[in-house]
Homo-oligomer: A and B are copies of this chain.
Amino acid sequence: MKPDLGAATRGRILYGGDYNPEQWPEETWQEDVRLMRAAGVNSVTLGVFSWAKLEPRPGEREFGWLDRLMDLMHDNGIGVVLATPTASPPPWMGHLHPDTLPVTEDGRTEWWGGRQHFSHSSDTYRRYAAAITEDLAARYGGHPALTMWHINNEYCTYDWSEGAAARFRVWLRAKYGTLDALNEAWGTAFWSQGYGDWAEIHTPRQAHYLKNPGQVLDFKRFTSDMLLECYVAERDIVRRATPHLPVTTNFMPLWVGQDAWRWAEEEDVVSVDLYPDPRDPLGAQNGALVQDMTRSQARGPWMLMEQAAGPVNWRGVNHPKPRGLNRLWSLQAVARGADAVCYFQWRQSRQGAEKFHSGMVSHAGEEGRTYQEVKQLGAELAAIAPEVTGRHTPNDIAVLHDWHAWWAGAQDGRLSNRVDHPDLLRAWHRALWEAHLTTDFAHPEHDLSAYRLVVVPQAYALTDAAIENLLAYVRRGGTLVSGFLTGVADEDDRVRAGGMDARLRELFGIRTLHEWWPLDAGEHVECDGFRGTLWSEEIDKTEDAEARARYKGGELDGLPAVLRSGRAWYLSTLPEPAAMRDLLAGIAAEAGVRPVLDALPEGVEAVRRGELLFVLNHGRESVTVEVPGGHRDLLTGAALKDELTLGRYGAAVLKAEPDAQAEAVLAP
């Protein structure tokens, strides 16, 4: 049996962050440890960007500084997540081995001087990466501070180089076997693109006009697979050395390039980097979405590897977190299954490209508001940890999401460049979140039988297996709601006859899908009771199906906007948020799914984890929330009876205590 996050948490919530002490004199390390201990930090990630320090010249090793740090952490009771440093090769590598540098779509080299300037396809890079990983595993595998391995960092590089082309050909041969099969899958009969020799195939580089969509789609799959190969190679090295310790790498929420379902299978611990904009009115919902997705990938507790205690530095304008927001969003992650609450990074850098990205200790230092809040949160997490860690709470609703469908549907030459897969995920998740319905995520081929309701924001491309899975799900009593542009293509991005798979059309009661009518920015269509945006469709329904809402006026007057056929629903437009919320809430209720709490005020979120009920006020005003029965708030210790008052950005972690009497305590 493989180790999981529990092997590292051992009943605690991991609290800490990336620690890059090589930026500081060793005197500062002592100060760091003092502040960490005061803040309840129990875990740091070392070595993420230390390659040049560990291997200053090819083949050399300098481990002394890291030895001292590992010991220092251990002496102070702080566990170490040790990273392989392979996300940022030292300057000597690109200089001596230009084949290790990635090349852009239009043939430009990405030089060193930043980070992630490695070609996933370079044998040289992979060889050096394996060697340093071997040596780290050998040296620190037995160190008592070591609790987990972190491979690389935010895998995300595309590469169109000659080296990548060579590996792409190998990958394609393995997938297709014959050129005939490849030509068929890519539809090369169109535009005279038939390949007669494997050597003719390159990465999809700059072209005069639209590129072959099959080639582009496979290149995205290939990229995800190559990065995964890099990950697996390093993981296997550390796993051999320390089979008892879990291994992870940090996903980026909704980054386009990784098939995270596939990747999660190769991880012991699923971890994620999460940076909602503090200014985004939907920041809390966006966070919830990523947390739901990550928990679903983990199928259990997960790790919040990176968040920011204050501002980031990569938006155009970067806002700090107002007082209380860091605590609130951290507790939200715990509510949704996180057993680790970590940051990039411990101490804000004074130099380098991220010196305006916040740290747990900001430029203002110990007296700064940021550290003071970090310190308070550390104490609270320690307090609730025993009741929280290890708990996993599945939900009744699944949102379907698949990277391959996204990749296929996001190409150039579509009917509307306004259709964005993540935006649709957000719109559907938001509707459920605002209806106080908690959700999991699932892949279209997953077993869905445990769910009462499955929603499909958009699944442009679906395999036959996925389609049969959906049909079986409804056949066995499940309720399915799908948005437009679902089932349009197969896994090769081949449009299915009729513009949408015939089985799905039958399921939803669509006789003929005459034309798609995408909507312009600012345009809407009137429907019975609401406005639709982004998209509309010219559909003839079957006789049995019921048009639950119709278009009013315009070219589509009288045609179905929302179509129902038994337990299968189809939305041919995107209703505005309030209508979307009400529609999905109604369908959920009919499917027997209830909100976490009734009568929750707007902006208040309630989430159950194990036996606990988290209540989070995302608003800036105090609110009173009805929570029937007696509870104790683990954060304040206060007992509550039937209701709870939360201040601005306030949170409560409630445990049922049937005999509790209310006490006059305001949760912060």
Q: Which positions in A face B, CB cutoff 8 Å?
A: 20, 22-23, 49-53, 56-57, 85, 88-92, 95, 102, 104, 106-117, 157, 186-197, 199-202, 204-215, 279, 310-311, 313-314, 316-320, 322-323, 348-357, 362-365, 367-370, 412-418, 492-495, 497-499, 512-521, 538, 555
Contacts and interface: CB of A to CB of B under 8 A. Distances in A.
Contacts of A415: 311, 313, 317-318, 356
A356 B460 CA distance: 13
A24 to B, nearest CB: 8
A269 B2 CA distance: 74
B108 A206 contact: yes
Contacts of A212: 113-114, 352-353
B50 A192 contact: yes
B497 A363 contact: yes
A518 B319 contact: yes
Contacts of A193: 52, 88, 90-91, 112-113
Most buried by B among A111, A201, A370: A111
Given A210-B353, A320-B538, A369-B515, 13 more contacts: A49-B191, A53-B189, A90-B192, A107-B108, A110-B206, A187-B350, A187-B352, A212-B352, A313-B415, A316-B417, A320-B516, A350-B494, A363-B497
Contacts of A196: 52, 56-57, 90-92
A245 B110 CA distance: 49
Nearest to A350: B495
28 contacts: A22-B189, A23-B187, A49-B192, A50-B192, A52-B194, A53-B192, A57-B196, A88-B191, A91-B193, A109-B205, A110-B206, A113-B202, A113-B204, A114-B212, A117-B208, A209-B353, A210-B314, A211-B353, A214-B351, A279-B520, A313-B413, A313-B415, A350-B495, A356-B413, A362-B499, A363-B513, A364-B512, A364-B515
A353 B213 contact: yes
A216 to B, nearest CB: 9
Nearest to A351: B187
Nearest to A372: B514
A574 to B, nearest CB: 14
A323 B517 CA distance: 13
A317 B520 contact: yes
Given A91-B195, A314-B413, A364-B513, A210 B114 contact: yes
Contact of A495 (B211, B351, B414, B494): B351
B413 A364 contact: no
A316 B210 contact: no
A350 B9 CA distance: 52
B208 A157 contact: yes
A352 B223 CA distance: 21
Contacts of A316: 416-418
Contact of A199 (B95, B208, B364): B95
Contacts of A414: 313, 356
A585 to B, nearest CB: 31
Given A192-B88, A352-B213, A493-B351, A512 B206 contact: no
Contact of A191 (B109, B114, B318, B512): B114
- Report which residue of A213, A214, A353, A517 has the largest number of chain B beta carbons within 10 angstroms of its beta carbon: A353
A201 B90 CA distance: 11
A628 B191 CA distance: 52
A128 to B, nearest CB: 12
A518 B369 contact: no
Contacts of A310: 515
B111 A109 contact: no
A354 B112 contact: no
Contacts of A90: 192-194, 196
A512 B363 CA distance: 10
- The 5 tightest CB contacts between A and B, nearest first, are A187-B351, A190-B352, A114-B207, A363-B499, A210-B353
A201 to B, nearest CB: 8
A26 B102 CA distance: 44
A111 B499 contact: no
A399 B317 CA distance: 27
B206 A349 contact: no
A323 B495 CA distance: 24
A107 to B, nearest CB: 6
A51 B17 CA distance: 58
Given A207-B113, A313-B413, A320 B517 contact: yes
A187 B355 CA distance: 10
B115 A208 contact: yes
A289 B20 CA distance: 45
Nearest to A511: B367
A528 B558 CA distance: 49
Contacts of A521: 317
A490 to B, nearest CB: 9
A519 to B, nearest CB: 7
Contacts of A319: 517-518
Given A114-B191, A317-B518, A364-B499, A492 B208 contact: no
A429 to B, nearest CB: 25
Contacts of A202: 111, 113
Nearest to A101: B208
Contact of A515 (B213, B350, B351, B370): B370
Contacts of A357: 413
Contacts of A108: 106-107, 206
A207 B318 contact: no
A210 to B, nearest CB: 4
Contacts of A102: 208
A89 B193 CA distance: 8
Contacts of A110: 206-208
A189 B368 contact: no
Contacts of A364: 498-499, 512-515
Nearest to A197: B92
B107 A109 contact: yes
Nearest to A209: B114
Given A113-B207, A114-B210, A498-B363, A354 B317 contact: no
A494 B351 contact: yes
A204 B195 CA distance: 34
